[in-house]
Structure 1
């Protein structure tokens, strides 16, 4: 699907406020409500809009820490990678997981209550049983920018 300027405006507005009513969205992007709703439905049907979510304040729900874990796997074969991926997908603490090219095999962002909670998580889940050989954890000292909006 080729995106025109109006589609991009719709996407920017929905990224800012996914709960905006269609009438208000139409006003913001300069359309009447019916064509605006049609465009939103097309963006959803094409998969450009994949879902709507509520973005929570991590600290206010008791998850004080984000930890970044650089993971080295025991091997780089398909079976080991598939085992690791399957395990990470089941863990709610792992909010982001990337298979990497470079020094690490994977990069995780893990959210936990505190450092003790992370140690328990690491000892239980970031182990050989999930195909992991080594973990190096980085602790951010400050969140400078965190956004879920893409620059469309």
Structure 2
């Protein structure tokens, strides 16, 4: 799909303030509300816009600890990857799972309320995940940039 200047203006406004009224976003993008709606529908159909959604801030719900775990899996086991991912998805405190090429096979982002809570999750839920050969924990100290926006 070709994205023109009007589409980019619409996308910038949606990224900047997704909770705003469509009529306000249309005005800021310099298009009519009808044009805004038609173009947004077209971009949704083309897969350019996947969703406009609310985001829950887990910190506001009392989760204060964030740990990134780098996981290396047993590559001699044919089902290791699939079984590990399936089991990791079932851990509620794992809020993000990424896979990689290279020495590290997967990354889990784990949240917990306290360090004691994290230790319990790590011991009872993470260490029981199948087929791990190595695990490295990186505790996040600060978030410098956290943006889902793309440059338009």
TM-score normalised according to structure 2 size = 0.88
Alpha carbons of structure 1 residues 9 and 131: separation in structure 2 relative to 1, 3 Å: farther
Aligned length: 152
Alpha carbons of structure 1 residues 77 and 21: separation in structure 2 relative to 1, 3 Å: farther
1:66-105 → structure 2 map (5 Å cutoff): 66-75=66-75, 79-105=79-105
Structure 2: give runs of 5+ residues left out of the alignment: none
Provide the C-alpha distance between the structure 2 equivalents of 1:98 and 1:3, rounded to a whole number of angstroms.
29
Please report the RMSD computed on the Cα atoms of aligned residues, expressed in angstroms: 1.9
TM-score normalised according to structure 1 size = 0.88
Deviation at residue 76 of structure 1 after TM alignment: 6.2
Structure 1: give runs of 5+ residues left out of the alignment: none
Contact 1:68 1:138 (8 Å CA) reproduced: yes
Q: Which residue of 2 aligns with 1:113?
A: 113
